[in-house]
A and B are shown apart, each in its own frame.
Chain A
Amino acid sequence: MIEVQELTKKYGKQVAVDRLSFRISGGNVVGLLGPNGAGKSTTMRMLSGYLLPDSGTAAVGGFDVVKESMRVREHIGYLPENNPLYPHMYVREYLHFMGALHGMKKDRRRTEHVIELTGLGPESHKKLGQLSKGYRQRAGLAQALLHDPPVLILDEPASGLDPNQLTGMRELIRELGKEKTVILSTHIMQEVELLCRHVLIINKGKIVANDPLPALVAEGGLEDVFRRVTR
């Protein structure tokens, strides 16, 4: 579902993503784990079409991210880093807007379903700017789910969530991961352990580990492995 080959991105002389290669097949939840500045967001931005790679190729859902960017964007739900939102919009207004950008007509049932799915219900009458961080995160996730894309690219989706909210998100993502391809990034161990089935560890723009979660846990605990490969 997501195929990346020798993907490279440089900012001036600094190589942010260095000939990255990996493959993720459908129906999985993959964690992209790495220290800050490792190249997680840059990689996701190339997958979503926000940035263009300097070299290498990537395909999402079978579509090339450079040559068929529109197709890719139709098939992904993307949650950018820092979860950007429009503060003056109401929750439903925002969801209808994002839905419309994906070519959806105003579908009240679908909107309510996604609100329920992400637990936005009690706060759904408010403006996005009035929501607390956790609810804002849910709104961002709701927008990514709205058009029922086969691939979800989530940049730090659990950022700012308290332990209860994190558990809720785990259930949601686990459910979504049954049929969809989910790739999420984080630098927090617990999130990976709770949410993911497969782990890609990235350091300084390179993949340093690419294993199912149980394998890494068996190797001596995720944190140990992480420290070892990112030294």
Chain B
Amino acid sequence: MKIRTILAKEINEFFSSLTAYITVSLFLIAMGLFLWVFPDTSILEYGYASLETLFQVAPWVFLFLVPALTMRFFAEEKRMGTLELILTAPVSQWQLILGKFLAGAFLILFCLLPTLVYYFTVYELGEVRGNLDSGAIAGSYLGLFLLGTAFCAIGLFASTLSSNQVVAFMLAVFLCFFFWSGFDSISRVASLGAVDFILVQLGIYEHYVSLSRGVIDSRDLLYFASLTFFFLLLSKQRLEGARW
């Protein structure tokens, strides 16, 4: 399967440069510091058997790390000229986009899996062993993963906009931030009235918080799926448009 070929190549590329190592390490170091060392956010200081802090901080770390992962996807291929090589092979644009997207998703998963150690830690540390809300945590992990993959799709699209990785990075950060909390902020502009509800629903934050309650609402899943698909579709349009 050609998607698998692209996927394998991208993952290989992540791990043969420092990209993967730095991204995962930075994420885990940042999470580790926030959750166990810094007194403001530390679980140990907070005193409650909850992983809330992880899920509050992680999106902001993703906001910078995911664009750093995805900035390479098309910007570098364009700059090196290899995009011409791939696009003239019998591979469809969707196969190319999905292969890269899945590689990003895989790396995000790779970042998140080690944090399960935190879950087990808090599980053991509870006054009554295991007195944490596992359902909410499961929902939160799902929300965080979906958030990560949505950022990945946004970053992939941003990467098609420039052959300069730094520009791709900045565009991705901006777009991710806008979808994460931009809608929320706009909705608070008092003069908008009833529209504010719709605006809030367009932003990721609302759906992320909703999932983190532990109840998997199909509307939230649909939102993430649509958002992700939307940006992947935009990416395909970019690739097609470049042929003109």
Contact = CB atoms under 8 A, between A and B. Distances in A.
Contacts of B5: 97, 100-101
B243 A52 contact: yes
How large, as a class, is the contact surface on chain A? 20 to 34
A204 interface: no
A80 B17 contact: no
In this complex, the member of B5, B81, B84 whose beta carbon has the largest number of chain A beta carbons within 10 angstroms is B84
A73 B85 CA distance: 11
Interface in A67-109: 70, 73-74, 76, 78, 80, 82, 84-86, 88, 97-98, 100-103
Contacts of A98: 85, 89
A110 interface: no
A82 B81 contact: yes
How large, as a class, is the contact surface on chain B? 20 to 34
B2 A101 contact: yes
B131 to A, nearest CB: 49
Interface in B13-57: 13, 16-17
B84 A84 contact: yes
Given A88-B13, A88-B16, A101-B5, A50 B90 contact: no
Contacts of A49: 87-88
Nearest to B16: A88
A84 B90 contact: no
B89 A50 contact: no
A45 interface: yes
Nearest to B83: A84
B91 interface: yes
B243 A102 contact: no
Nearest to A93: B12
In this complex, the member of B2, B82, B89, B90 whose beta carbon has the largest number of chain A beta carbons within 10 angstroms is B89
B84 A45 contact: yes
Given A73-B90, A97-B5, A88 B243 contact: no
Contacts of B2: 100-101, 103
Contact of B243 (A50, A73, A100, A101): A50
Interface string B1-15: 010010001000100
A52 B244 contact: yes
Q: List the 4 shortest-distance A-B pairs measured between CB atoms, nearest first.
A: A84-B81, A101-B89, A100-B5, A73-B90
26 contacts: A45-B84, A48-B88, A49-B87, A49-B88, A50-B88, A51-B244, A52-B243, A73-B88, A73-B89, A76-B88, A80-B84, A80-B88, A82-B81, A84-B82, A85-B82, A86-B13, A86-B80, A86-B82, A88-B13, A97-B5, A97-B9, A101-B2, A101-B89, A102-B89, A102-B90, A143-B85
Interface of A: 45, 48-52, 70, 73-74, 76, 78, 80, 82, 84-86, 88, 97-98, 100-103, 143
Given A49-B88, A50-B88, A100-B2, 7 more contacts: A50-B243, A73-B90, A80-B84, A86-B82, A88-B17, A101-B5, A101-B89
